[in-house]
Amino acid sequence: MVQVLVGASIMDDVRRALPPAERDRIELVGVDATASEADLSRIEAAIRWDLDDAGFRRLLDQAPKLRWLHSPGAGVERWPLGELADRGIVLTNGAGVFAIPIAEWVLTAMLTAVKRTVAVNDAQRAHRWATDIQADELYGKTLLVLGTGGIGAAVIARASGFGMRILAGNRSGRPVGGAQRTIKGAAWRDALRDADFVVVTVPLTEETTGMIGADELRSFKPGAWLLNVGRGATIDEPALIDALTHGSLGGAALDAWTTEPLPPDDLAWDASNMILSPHMSGSSPANRARILALFMDNLRRFVADQPLINTVDLSAGY
């Protein structure tokens, strides 16, 4: 029988989702701070749900049989990837689970930019009939999407419906459905001058840290917008504030920040043409069901000794 560590707050959901045929092959063990070392020594698989850093460290130290870990979220930059690789532990993540709400947030931000929604709301509050506000459209605009995993692909699919010209950037140069052109590796920098909107969806690695800095921001097309729904540290935030204040950047919409929560005195709060979001673009009541479905699919595969989906490349970091 396979012992699986499951968070207390999703235990009932997992039990209900467990097929009757699997119930004599899987034992669900709840996350409990008082669990003995002997209890943890039986664990072969775990979903990191309801486990704080101390509890996670305890699991790693006291579960020698652990073979599979699942992260409900997509980002794994804080995980001890080297240790997992050394121990032969497979890590899977929630890549794609949050793609739909995040992609909708991106489209909302782009529409907010071209339809001048913030200016219209300001005029409403001032009781001003603002016929001087000129709106634009997404149709025909060029969108550069950096990162073409689940989120990037979902953004591209929705932007295609607005008639945008779409460029996709990824490491391999693999063609992406819905994109007119796919750009391989670092060549995306040459496409910055053509893009009206640049959307960053990449994971945080050594290669992507600070990938949008002062030099890249100077290459943006005048009036272009930068949107980040990946990880905050992929953007040089002081350079971005400077570009918004003194450069020709049209605006920015950020849902990920290097420091979260964003400090009250951070300059981003008052930056011109900044859509500031508290890392909530992936929020949706549908997420819990999607997380559960992915975990249960992989749990079935794990018990059947089949390849898992959403396996993280521990050397690449995503």
- Would you name the residues annotated as active-site residues? 231, 260, 279
Burial class (CB in 10 A: 0-12, 13-18, 19+), 178: middle
Contacts of 100 (CB under 8 A, 6+ apart): 154, 284, 286
Q: Distance between CA atoms of 245 and 305, rounded to whole angstroms?
A: 55
Q: What's the count of helices (H) and strands (E) in the chain, helices before strands?
A: 11, 12
Give the phi and the psi of residue 204 in degrees, each rounded to 5.
-90, 115
**Residue-by-residue DSSP string for 218-236:** HHSPTT-EEEE-S-GGGB-
Q: Distance between CA atoms of 263 and 142, rounded to whole angstroms?
A: 33
Q: Which residues share a beta bridge with 90?
A: 68
Contacts of 98 (CB under 8 A, 6+ apart): 73, 74, 151, 281, 282, 284, 287, 290
